[in-house]
Structure 1
């Protein structure tokens, strides 16, 4: 995809004022997995997700010494090199390298850019809440503010997808970048030819509060790489596995049902949709669930939870549990006694944002 080359903001104005950006993480309510190729290219996919008040942050500060420094505080990784030399391949701060190299190539014509780029994320890596993609979106948003680039939400999400999935070759779908760029509740359609349509949902404020009073996030304590699970899912699709394809078609249908449930405020239907979607999700590939995940979900359901599923590709990370608000405390209490960590779920209406820190 070609992006315009707007005039670059002068870097001397407020040169040593840090630029900051943040992009929200998301929970997947329905349809996760249908945003993967080759399913999307053949059948089209759709997901319903919502961003939460957990964020990936990016900070940019210019340097006068001609050096380039990347610091990924969330993982403890660091890279330093000369800004006028090619960035070598490497695992440390891999996302930072990819975003910086792409921005410099696309918008600066290869002109060196000496900066310190530091990032933090509110949840551990491998949480299943789209943290890696949110981090890429936050990084691009920070460069956008720093350089004065003109990118809309679709541009931002598409560029993040190209950097993460194509240029860096990291396995994954398409929903996370669009969720982080747009924010809020979105029903997102994925069509052949990389055509994406984001449909923001007008969810009434009382229903948002009711959802917040119903949902619980439980971190299993187990970080996992989504790439291995996603590669299994894609292999099943490419091999024409009827079980996997049928499961994905069910997931696609459940996304439409979830949209109806959210817009009409039918949380019982939403809970039923989550449970059906979870069963379908597990049929798409091995490794999505585990004995520990099943134990915790069964325990929550035995203590009046209405529904539960893993957030993201599966294998670990966060579980999303739904309960009637009258019974939510009982679910919270029983989950608090487990080895993981319990968090409330509150929603963010805003997508990626960037600003200059004039402190």
Structure 2
């Protein structure tokens, strides 16, 4: 079939340097000056929409390339699902399906109800599944970018990003069935090294200077433990403990917030030793929040790195597996290489990356 229009979008994943979990509403409302620091990286999530001429009444094909899964539905059956939830999408395609349904409704509200064409929505994720790099959120942002462009025409992530983040957050929450934090969406939507300050009524988002990003690239090592994790489950347990005011959970989150602020101060001052101390303090508290935050494999990796040099690190995301990073304050390539080899010798994979200074990107070809 002749392709009438192609829309391609991509969004970065992120390394959360410090201050994760406090982005969950309403946790940050109970903390003093809560902040999250994250760095967009080039393990992109990608989405592509192809609108094609149809020989019949038209159909939609949803495809996850990395999951090797697809679902094909006639438009008339999909239209019924909008009102009745009568068709169940496979779990790996539920996010695709729900986001498509949302934007079909918006398209119809604009008076455009014609569906006499074929539509392919395909995605690909470059980060490992369950890596703790915000991959599912980056995928959702990429899909939303493509679908929003399909319905509304050209979009500007800087101008429209905050509104799109709200859409992504609400739709993904219905997929994961637990409250969703928002730092991952900001990382995917805007990229760069962001300081995200969570406040009542509004949030303050800002980029730290590019020279700091370059410094982090020279000092960070990223690894995948080989064990995936479920951030929704881990965050839900911590969420409940915080809301129920169990033990000293709230005090620990305030200490995490304080350590994150010290990390930001150190980064802005270019003090890499102090930055390492801030990360180490954050991780020392975070690992005590619940059983299973860390793992024996990750603990061995940190111990192996500490035998080589004075370094710091933490797990990415909610913990329980996935990725972790190590900061080498000296940026010495020889030391970094020794650490990399020592950790890889235990069967853990290093993930090469570069910082992504930009967030969501969308390109359109055709009418």
Determine the structure 2 residue equivalent to 1:8.
none
2:55 maps to 1:78: no
Whether 2:128 is the aligned partner of 1:124: answer: yes
Measure, in 2, the Cα distance between the counterparts of 1:244 and 1:144: 39
Instruction: Name which of structure 1's ranges 229-238 and 252-261 shifts more when overlaid on structure 2.
Output: 252-261
Structure 2 residues without counterparts, runs of 5 or longer: 82-86
**Within 5 Å, which residues of 2 pair with 1:22-37?**
22-37=10-25
* Alpha-carbon distance change, 336 to 62 in structure 1, aligned in 2, over 3 angstroms: same
2:84 aligns with none
Q: Please give the secondary structure, in 2, of the residue aligned with 1:27.
A: strand
Identify the residue that residue 163 of structure 2 maps to in structure 1.
Answer: 155
Task: Tell me, in whole angstroms, the C-alpha distance in 2 between the residues paired with 1:312 and 1:235.
Answer: 17
Q: How has the CA–CA distance of structure 1 residues 111 and 287 changed in structure 2, closer, same or farther, with 3 Å as cutoff?
A: farther
Q: What SS does the corresponding residue of 2:66 show, helix, strand or coil?
A: coil
Give secondary structure in 2 for the equivalent of 1:256: helix
Which deviates further from its counterpart, 36-45 or 228-237?
36-45
Tell me which stretches of 4 or more aligned residues in structure 1 moved more than 4 Å: none
Contact 2:17 2:279 (C-alpha < 8 Å) held by counterparts: yes
Task: With the length of structure 1 as denominator, give the TM-score of the two structures.
Answer: 0.89
Instruction: Indicate the residue corresponding to 1:325 in structure 2.
Output: 331
Q: Which of 124, 141, 147 lines up with 1:143 in the alignment?
A: 147
Does residue 58 in structure 1 map to residue 50 in structure 2? no
Structure 1 residue 39 and structure 2 residue 46: aligned?
no
Query: What is residue 203 of structure 1 aligned with on the other side?
Result: 210
- Label 1:117 to 1:259 Cα distance change in 2 as closer, same or farther (>3 A): same
User: Match of 1:179?
Assistant: 187
Q: Deviations over 1:218-240 (max 9, x none)?
A: 11111111122111101111210
Matches of 2:215 and 2:197, distance apart in 1: 26
Instruction: State the shift of 1:304 in Å.
Output: 1.4
Instruction: Please state how far the C-alpha of 1:345 moved relative to its aligned partner.
Output: 3.6
Q: C-alpha displacement at 1:338, in angstroms? A: 2.1
Alpha-carbon distance in 1 for matches of 2:104, 2:59: 15
Residue 4 of structure 2 corresponds to residue 16 of structure 1: yes
The correspondence of residues 68-107 of structure 1 with structure 2, limited to 5 A, is 68-84=60-76, 85-87=79-81, 88-90=87-89, 91-107=91-107
The residue that corresponds to 2:312 in the other structure is: 307
> Per the alignment, do residues 325 and 242 of structure 1 end up closer, same or farther by CA in structure 2, a change over 3 Å counting?
same
Query: Are 1:24 and 1:53, in contact at CA under 8 Å, matched by a contact in 2?
Result: yes
TM-score (norm 2): 0.87
Inter-partner Cα distance in structure 1 for 2:113 and 2:92: 23
DSSP-derived class of the 1:241 partner: coil
**Structure 2 counterpart of 1:5:** none
**1:10 maps to what in 2?**
none
Change (3 A) 1:115 1:168: farther
Q: Return the offset for 1:47.
A: 0.2
Q: How far apart are residue 213 of structure 1 and its match?
A: 1.7
Could you tell me how far apart the structure 1 residues matched to 2:106 and 2:281 are?
43
Structure 1: tracts of 5 or more residues without a match? 1-13
Tell me by how many angstroms 1:171 deviates: 4.1
Inter-CA distance 89–37: structure 2 relative to 1 (3 Å threshold): farther
For these two proteins, the number of residue pairs brought into alignment is: 342
Match of 1:341 in 2: 349
- Distance in 1 between residues matched to 2:348 and 2:253, nearest whole Å: 29
Distance 2:113 2:349 in 1: 46
In the TM superposition, what whole-angstrom CA distance separates every residue of 1:90-110 from its partner, at most 9, and x where no partner exists? Answer: 324011011111111234338
Indicate conservation of the 8 Å contact 1:215/1:344, yes or no: no
